[in-house]
Structure 1
């Protein structure tokens, strides 16, 4: 269901207000077509105003939505909401504007419920953790997610137990506990939906140049770990597809990672193997030799026709062969990633994929809802060639089917994150059997731990425990820029770490 309007006006020009109002418009598929486009209404106007606070200091906001139809008739809807005592003033204003508009669209304009309501952020469990720290119990948090954020009961009952499940894992980390992320920004081919900053695998000369720069990057990070007395809890080698490297380069890279960062305190060593066409017996042997504890196998789908459509150079049978080879090598934990909402697929295709994936017995299954990003070829194809994606309703059916198979394996959700423009207004959620939780995934999603980023397109996230804030530095997404400006990125990372952990702020 879409609503098309010729023009849109908002009574507040502040960027944050414009952003949150437009999030609601996108959520309900309100399309602003311009003066020449065909539309249901000539104009949509939103007016927000703050009313006097309550006697106990809670914020009160009123939102008015006005629609003007082609016949000149005006429809006006007004909603008021009151904030909570435990939220910051600015956060309360922003939430109440979104909540008011959400309820107007739902109740007055009969728009369908969004599973997550107004929980638009990447990490919805962070709100749950804040309430847990405030002493709220599980039933109370579930009720508040529904009242304050219009979150569906089903989603609330998914993320609240998940947050409580994370507590003992988060408790294993302190100020001096860190994780290390190594980015290998190469792939064998570029998938149709991909918007990640990866490069098609270059020739040997460029690879040699990359390895030299990567070594310099690692040595600087290794010195930082030593200088600040960090304990490396988790190592995550991602990308791109790290296993797209030729065997000798892969072994050289993984040896450097192991020698520089693996220590007795390290509990998890993950490598994204991604695609079957990137794996070889030699790479499996290297991972086994160096004690890799977790490998990601990402079929995305087990439908041969879809694999061809999205640009994958392998078959479902190749996925099975790769999985079994990793199992036979004794890799402790194998994760499998799947995407819901791929072009041309139906809920029954997802059922068949889940039959084939669960038959293998993976330790962890991550269900991604397709996020249609501007940088992907799929976005351009949809605009230029009208490539069809499954409807939101069909994608939600896919999710229900996939989760039913996951639960049959005895798996429960343990971390979750959201992105913009996700099919079905869904989420990316990882489910695993007890004991197979990915520690790195929990730590990075809850932003509870400093992550030292190394390599192409890597991000360093430094948690400053004294100031109760987090700052990030980003290595270039573009390979040429990363290779040329490595000294700049090393210095930016050093400055962030020194600000949070330096001698002038003794621990």
Structure 2
């Protein structure tokens, strides 16, 4: 069941935990496909998973792999809460799969993207470190190394969360273009070759949306806390086009109170001195230079058109231009990358002395080209790479400050941002903790509206540039909800 073309039947009787069941299975078969039914007759021959919760509280899970079936049962109260029934079923499924596959997912039963948020909540509830670690170990079956990482990340994050301004909002600006599409990429991004003719109209529409959002922010007397330019690769556009967009931000928002202004310079083959000077001149103090790896052979495999040396030169250029807060992104587990090659990349990046380093783990998404060869990554040494990165970065003064997990990640690992003290990205923490309203502008951007009681509403912009341009006026009609939210966040009580 490691072949991404396989379809394993999942039989569900007496419950509706489709998402939870699939998420647990993905811990063991991260590129497999599944079919779901409520027909017991499907639990015959081949590989299958049978799950049932009976009316008298009996929970039954049976897994058949390679013709060999194993069944486990337990009993829950008839009036058990939904979350308890879900936990009982998923734990049985998890324990059977550990035995049958020999795989022991390091994050245990945790399938959510924000394990640190769970730790933060428990700390705020007054639980001790020992209680939290015990809960993660015995209830969720998380390994000691991952418990330690999650707890340390939460501790480093808390002082920043305590300073969050829930009455403010952050701004995300989307420039969804790249020189080429990397094989691992699942973001909505478009190559410059195909998008070049849309660029003038796209930038015009984006600047109009920034003007509309700016007017809403002023009318509701809302402070903008952080600004983040993402993509794609924002520096895919020309220096002149980048200036136009950043001037629209400067014109329509009060930058004097902004605590953090970040631009993902991203791919080294898009970084020029002229673009860097535009970014710095127009107020952004934090940038990312993202080589992903310094191994030239791996860069070719993933579809990058630059070398490792190009990445080093881009980083040094940013320093010469005057940037004193630079992040670099690396990916553990890229195709053909060895553990030694990754270690070499990480060591060389540490020598460059960036203020923060983010270590992602390869995620094989269906929308990425790499998904078609997903089964080839089963023996990927990503875990060795991640195991090296944690103590190495911490020994050089880089502390974990934010983390998230994704489905279909190699070895069920995680993405972690490390930073020197005082250089943690506020925006990255806010987006992961869901504790501040974020206004999204541009194609594929998402606006996240935070209401009293941590209720969240999302407004999604159109995914593709031609849709965004064509349906711009219709999209702007949704801004009424933004106005209502910004009026209400002034009454949100701090935690």
User: Does TM, normalized by the shorter one, top 0.5?
Assistant: yes
Once the two structures are TM-superposed, the CA of residue 355 in structure 1 deviates from its matched residue by: 2.0
Residues 12-411 of structure 1 mapped to structure 2, 5 A cutoff: 12=14, 14=16, 17-29=17-29, 41=46, 43-49=48-54, 62-65=59-62, 67=64, 70=67, 75-79=70-74, 89-106=81-98, 108-109=99-100, 111-201=102-192, 206-380=198-372, 382=373, 388-389=376-377, 391-392=379-380, 394-411=381-398
Matches of 2:73 and 2:477, distance apart in 1: 52
Question: CA 1:21–1:277 in structure 2 vs 1: closer, same or farther (change >3 Å)?
Answer: same
Query: Do 2:180 and 2:303's aligned partners in 1 also have CA atoms closer than 8 Å?
Result: yes
Residues 425-504 of structure 1 mapped to structure 2, 5 A cutoff: 425-465=412-452, 467-498=453-484, 500-502=485-487
Matches of 2:353 and 2:77, distance apart in 1: 48
Once the two structures are TM-superposed, the CA of residue 28 in structure 1 deviates from its matched residue by: 2.2
Matches of 2:125 and 2:437, distance apart in 1: 23
Query: Do 1:371 and 1:419's aligned partners in 2 also have CA atoms closer than 8 Å?
Result: yes
Question: 1:191-210: per-residue Cα shift (whole Å, max 9, x none)?
Answer: 11112111122576532211
Matches of 1:253 and 1:327, distance apart in 2: 23
The SS at the match of 1:121 is coil
Once the two structures are TM-superposed, the CA of residue 497 in structure 1 deviates from its matched residue by: 4.1
Query: Do 1:272 and 1:297's aligned partners in 2 also have CA atoms closer than 8 Å?
Result: yes
Question: CA 1:493–1:245 in structure 2 vs 1: closer, same or farther (change >3 Å)?
Answer: same
The SS at the match of 1:462 is strand
Query: Do 1:79 and 1:104's aligned partners in 2 also have CA atoms closer than 8 Å?
Result: no
Question: CA 1:25–1:134 in structure 2 vs 1: closer, same or farther (change >3 Å)?
Answer: same
The SS at the match of 1:248 is helix
Question: 1:113-163: per-residue Cα shift (whole Å, max 9, x none)?
Answer: 111111111111222222222211222111111122111111111112211
TM-score (norm 2): 0.89
Once the two structures are TM-superposed, the CA of residue 91 in structure 1 deviates from its matched residue by: 2.7
The SS at the match of 2:477 is helix
Matches of 2:63 and 2:233, distance apart in 1: 49
Question: CA 1:333–1:146 in structure 2 vs 1: closer, same or farther (change >3 Å)?
Answer: same
Q: Which residue does the alignment assign to 1:58?
A: none
Matches of 1:227 and 1:238, distance apart in 2: 26
Name the stretch that deviates more: 467-476 or 39-48.
39-48
Once the two structures are TM-superposed, the CA of residue 437 in structure 1 deviates from its matched residue by: 0.2
Q: Which residue does the alignment assign to 1:55?
A: none
Question: CA 1:118–1:425 in structure 2 vs 1: closer, same or farther (change >3 Å)?
Answer: same
Query: Do 2:76 and 2:85's aligned partners in 1 also have CA atoms closer than 8 Å?
Result: no
Matches of 1:357 and 1:269, distance apart in 2: 23
Query: Do 2:24 and 2:111's aligned partners in 1 also have CA atoms closer than 8 Å?
Result: no
Matches of 2:393 and 2:347, distance apart in 1: 10
Which consecutive unaligned segments of at least 5 residues does structure 1 have?
A: 53-60
The SS at the match of 1:194 is coil
Query: Do 2:203 and 2:245's aligned partners in 1 also have CA atoms closer than 8 Å?
Result: yes
Number of residue-to-residue matches in the alignment: 479
Question: 1:64-102: per-residue Cα shift (whole Å, max 9, x none)?
Answer: 3254975xx86432245799xxxx933333233222321
Query: Do 1:292 and 1:331's aligned partners in 2 also have CA atoms closer than 8 Å?
Result: no
Which consecutive unaligned segments of at least 5 residues does structure 2 have?
A: 36-43
The answer on 1:9 being equivalent to 2:11 is: yes
Query: Do 2:72 and 2:96's aligned partners in 1 also have CA atoms closer than 8 Å?
Result: yes
> What is the CA RMSD across the aligned residues, in angstroms?
2.8
TM-score (norm 1): 0.87
Matches of 1:69 and 1:243, distance apart in 2: 50
Q: Which residue does the alignment assign to 1:57?
A: none
Query: Do 1:66 and 1:77's aligned partners in 2 also have CA atoms closer than 8 Å?
Result: no
